[in-house]
Amino acid sequence: MPWKLVLVFGVGCLSLLTMFMLVREHHKHDITNHLLSTAGNSAFKAAGKTGLRQPEELRSSSSADCSPRINFVWIKVHKSGSSTTTPLFQQYAFFHNLTVMMPADGGPILSWPIPPREGLYVKPRTGVYNALYQHSRYNKTWLEARFPPDTAYLAIIREPFSHFKSCFNYYRVSHVLKTKKNQYIPNPLRTFLENPWSFKTEALHYGVRFDKTRNAQAFDLGYPLEKADDLDWARRYIDQLEHDFLLVMVLEHLEESVVLLRRLMCWELQDVIIKLSTRNVRDYPFKHYRPTPTEMHTYRQYSAVDFMMYQHFNQSLWRKIQAQDNDFFEEVRHYKSVRVKVGEFCKIKRRMDKSAQMTIPSTRWNPSYTFDSNLCRRLGTSDRTYRKKIWNQLGYGEKIKVRPRMVYNVRMHHGSMLKQARENSKERARNK
C-alpha cells in the first residue's frame, strides 16, 4: 500500500526534523553558557598580542576563592571622574570578550536622559548582554529587563561642590546670568550663589527636565529634577540605589574605591590598572574657588539631594571597606605603588623601547606579571579606539547613521536645551 509508506516516511521525517531542532536549540544554549563561562579566561588567550601576559602563577589567595563577575552596568556619571575610570571597564570588556551594549551609531553615548529607542542600540549575537559602560542614565526598569539578574551595578560620584564648579564651567552656565549682552561679571560663580533659584538653569531634552547646576549626579542615577525639594522621597530613592548598586565609588577616595571594586568583582590587579595622569587637568578661573560658609550653606540647600547622596555613599564605601580583611589598606598601598611604577615605565621614552619589560612581583593579592610596552599602549588607548575594537570584536556590522538631532551632546546643545525648557514653561503657563 503506497499511501501507508508515504505516511510512515512522512512521520519519520517529521520526528527527525523535530529531533534536529531540539538538538540545535540545546546546542545554542550550550554555546551561550560556554561563552559566558569561558569569557573569564579569554583575556589570557588574547593576552599575548595585546599587552597582558599570562600570569606566571595561579590566582592569588584573595581571588582564588571567588570567580570573576563579568556582568556589569557602569553608570558614567557626568563630570565625576568617569573619564579616568571608564577605561578600566572598557579594557575589561575587551580583554574578556564581553558582549557590550552599544549604541547603533557606534558613538560614545548609549542614550541620555531617556533609554534608547528600539533599533538604536545593537542586539547581542548571543542573546545575552554582559556589560554597559557608555553614557546612559540609570533606569532600573529598563536595565533590569535587558541585563542578567546577577549584573553588578556600579557608578562613581564626587564631592557635590567641586562637581558643581566643574559643571558650571563645562556647560557654560555663566551665560544664563547675563541680562545684557557683553555684561561683565567678575566671578559668575559668586553671582550665581547669591540666589541659585533665581536663574533659569533648567533644560529640557526628550521631554525630560534636568539642571546641570542642581542634583546633577543624582539625576544621572535616575533621580527626577522635579523631586529636588522632597527630601523624604530622596531618602527612599537613595536607599533603593544602595540596594541596587554593588558599589558607588567616590572620586575623593579613588584608589580605595578601585581596590574595593577589584575585590567585590573578583577581578585581578592587572584588570584595574589605570593611567596615573588623569584627564582632569582642565583649568578654569574659579576651579580653586573656596566658597564662603554662606555660599556653601546656600548650595547645600539648593542641591540637597546630591549632598545627601554623597554623604550616604561615602559612608557606605567606608562601611564596605571596614568589612574587608585588615590587609585592605596594605593592598591600597601596593596598588598605588604599582600605578606609580607603571607611570614611570610608560614615560614616553620607554614606550618606544620594544624590549623593555617590567615585573610586578606576586603578592597576597596578585600573581606576578611581566609587562612590556604593550601595557603602555593599552593604557593610552582612546575611547574612540576601544569603541572601534570592541565593535569589531563583537562583529556588530554596519553602523547606523543617526540623525544629528538624535545625537546628544549636552555641552554643545546646552543653549538650545535651556531655551526649550523656557519655551515649554511659558507654554504651560499660557495653557493654565
Ligand X SMILES: *[C@@H]1O[C@H](CO)[C@@H](O)[C@H](O)[C@H]1NC(C)=O
CB closer to ligand X out of 142 and 199 = 142
236: CB partners within 8 A, 6+ apart: none
Of residues 158 and 414, the one with the C-beta less far from ligand X: 158
Q: How far apart are CB 18 and ligand X at their closest, in Å?
A: 28
Closer by beta carbon to ligand X, 192 or else 306: 306
DSSP single-letter state for residue 412: H
Pairing of strands 357-360, 245-250: unpaired
State in angstroms the smallest separation of the CB of 395 from ligand X: 7
Q: List alpha helices for 171-289, DSSP H.
A: 188-194, 216-220, 231-244, 254-265
The CA distance from 324 to 332, in Å, is 12
Nearer to ligand X, 87 or 115 (CB): 115
Q: How many CA atoms lie within 13 A of 126 on its CB side?
A: 21
User: Which one, 323 or 429, has the nearer CB to ligand X?
Assistant: 323
Could you tell me the end-to-end alpha-carbon distance of the chain, in angstroms, rounded to an integer?
Answer: 84
- Residues 114, 35: contact at Cβ < 8 Å? no
Provide, rounded to whole angstroms, the least separation between the CB of residue 222 and ligand X: 7
C-alpha cell at 332: 591600597
Handedness of CA 339, 163, 181, 209 (dihedral sign): positive
Nearer to ligand X, 201 or 257 (CB): 257
Which three cell numbers, joined as nine digits, stand for 261?
571594586
d(CA 257, CA 248): 8
- In the bound state with ligand X, the residue whose beta carbon lies nearer, of 117 and 426, is 117
- Nearby residues of 211 by Cβ (< 8 Å), 6 or more positions away: 201, 202, 203, 219, 225
Binding site for ligand X (CB under 6 A): 42, 45-46, 97, 114-115, 139, 141-142, 159, 252, 314-315, 318
The residue at minimum Cβ distance from ligand X is 42
Q: Which is nearer to ligand X, 187 or 311 (CB)?
A: 311
DSSP 3-state assignment of 77? Answer: coil
CB of 29 to ligand X, least distance (A): 15
Residue 99 to residue 36: CA distance in whole angstroms:
10
